C-alpha cells in the first residue's frame, strides 16, 4: 500500500471512532523521515484508546501492518504510531493545542479529503418554489 493510501486509511479508521479535527499533512518535501502525518484528536482517555485501538487493530488484522514503534500510552494524552512513511499522532484536544504540530509544520500541505471536496448540491427542478401561506 502506498503512503498516501495508508494515510487516508488511517484518517478513515480514526473517523470510525469519531476522532475530531483529523488532518493529514504532506511532509514529503519537508522531511526525509516520513511522507505524511495523520493528526487526530480525542476528548478523553477512553476516546484516545478507542481511536488508537481501531487504527492499530485494523491495520494489523486486515492489512498485516504493525508500527515500527509506538510512543506514549493509551492512558496518556498523546500516542504516536510510526508506520515508516506515515506517522499517526492521536492527541487529547488540549495537548494538540499546546504542541501545535500544524503550526510547527506550517509549510506542509494538508491533504484534502475526498469527502470535503464533494459539495452536496440541491437538485434543480423546473417547478417554481411554492409560497407559504401567512396569517395577516
Query: Which cell numbers in the block locate residue 49?
Result: 484508546
Mean pLDDT over residues 108-128, rounded?
Answer: 59
pLDDT in tens, 93-104: 999 999 999 999
- For 19, other C-beta atoms within 10 Å of its C-beta total 26
120 occurs within a structural domain? no
Which helix (H) or strand (E) segment holds residue 23: the answer is strand 20-26
* pLDDT for 74: 61
Domain interval for residue 46: 3-113
* Contact in structure between 46 and 96 (CB atoms under 8 Å): no
pTM of the model: 0.81
Task: Count CB atoms within 10 A of the CB of residue 50.
Answer: 19
C-alpha grid cell, residue 40: 487526530
Give the mean model confidence (pLDDT) for residues 20-43: 95
Does the residue 123 lie in any domain? Answer: no
- Tell me, what CATH number does 35's domain have? 3.30.460.10
21 domain-assigned: yes
- Domain assignment present for residue 77? The answer is yes
Residue 11: helix, strand or coil by DSSP?
helix
Amino acid at each position: 500500500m502506498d503512503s498516501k493510501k495508508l494515510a487516508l486509511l488511517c484518517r478513515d479508521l480514526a473517523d470510525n471512532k469519531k476522532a475530531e479535527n483529523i488532518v493529514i499533512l504532506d511532509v514529503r518535501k519537508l522531511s526525509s523521515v516520513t511522507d505524511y502525518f495523520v493528526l487526530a484528536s480525542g476528548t478523553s482517555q477512553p476516546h484516545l484508546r478507542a481511536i488508537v485501538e481501531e487504527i492499530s487493530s485494523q491495520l494489523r488484522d486486515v492489512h498485516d501492518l504493525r508500527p515500527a514503534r509506538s510512543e506514549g500510552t493509551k492512558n496518556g494524552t498523546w500516542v504516536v504510531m510510526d508506520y515508516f512513511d506515515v506517522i499517526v499522532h492521536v492527541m487529547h484536544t488540549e495537548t494538540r493545542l499546546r504542541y501545535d504540530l500544524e503550526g510547527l509544520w506550517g509549510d506542509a500541505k494538508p491533504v484534502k479529503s475526498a469527502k470535503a471536496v464533494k459539495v452536496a448540491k440541491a437538485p434543480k427542478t423546473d417547478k417554481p418554489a411554492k409560497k407559504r401561506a401567512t396569517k395577516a
